[in-house]
Chains A and B, each alone.
Chain A
Amino acid sequence: GQQVMQIPQYQHVQEGEDFTTYCNSSTTLSNIQWYKQRPGGHPVFLIQLVKSGEVKKQKRLTFQFGEAKKNSSLHITATQTTDVGTYFCAGRSGGSYIPTFGRGTSLIVHP
């Protein structure tokens, strides 16, 4: 079945440093979504990427979808303590509307 690998599992950064998490799929994805889960919270939708090579920005967050639609990344510029949480990618393949979640990357920002 479809697998979505996400790395790294944890990332410690000093406030102001950049952060990147990567997702790779074993199959071509129809789209990929990104969610953020704060400690003690629930996943919250950030963005969806659909097109090959797509790049979307939300303030300090930049999301990319690979040309082959098998990989994606989330980059945060100049992290802040409010960025703390676990970032999950969730990819869909074929005609399925059920996403497969990556294992998540936990971001820890040190002030």
Chain B
Amino acid sequence: DTEVTQTPKHLVMGMTNKKSLKCEQHMGHRAMYWYKQKAKKPPELMFVYSYEKLSINESVPSRFSPECPNSSLLNLHLHALQPEDSALYLCASSQAPGVLDTEAFFGQGTRLTVV
């Protein structure tokens, strides 16, 4: 199984809503990532979890709250988002941190629209 599964695929939420994005992988990867991608732009790193611990937060606003319940799951909790947060949210995973020769496997993404 070389898949990273993200749910939901599409999400429309109001600015006062609370929602969560979910990501799952069963490749034994110990590094998991959240990226945000706007149209015609490269993926922009948001968070990195290394061995289930948050290792990098790229100055992301607190309305985005990541969680890593176990080595296979990664969540992104959303609250009080703004319309400019509308984007494709990508989850990715790779082998254990510190292993340089490793590729990232991306999920299909959640296309989020904030209204």
Contact = CB atoms under 8 A, between A and B. Distances in A.
Contacts of B109: 42
Interface in B90-107: 90, 94, 97-107
Contact of A97 (B43, B90, B98, B108): B98
| Chain B contact surface mostly | loop
Interface string A83-111: 00000101010010111011110100000
Interface residues of B, number: 24
Nearest to B33: A98
A78 interface: no
A97 B94 contact: yes
Nearest to A106: B40
Contacts of B41: 103-104
A48 B103 contact: yes
A45 B48 contact: no
A33 interface: yes
B108 A41 contact: yes
B27 interface: no
Given A43-B90, A44-B106, A30 B48 contact: no
Most buried by B among A33, A42, A43, A99: A42
Nearest to B40: A106
A102 B31 CA distance: 21
A31 interface: yes
Interface string B41-81: 11101001000000010000000000000000000000000
B1 to A, nearest CB: 16
A97 B105 CA distance: 14
Interface of A: 30-31, 33, 35, 41-45, 48, 50, 88, 90, 92, 95, 97-99, 101-104, 106
Q: Which 7 A-B pairs have the closest CB atoms?
A: A101-B42, A45-B103, A42-B106, A43-B106, A42-B108, A42-B109, A97-B97
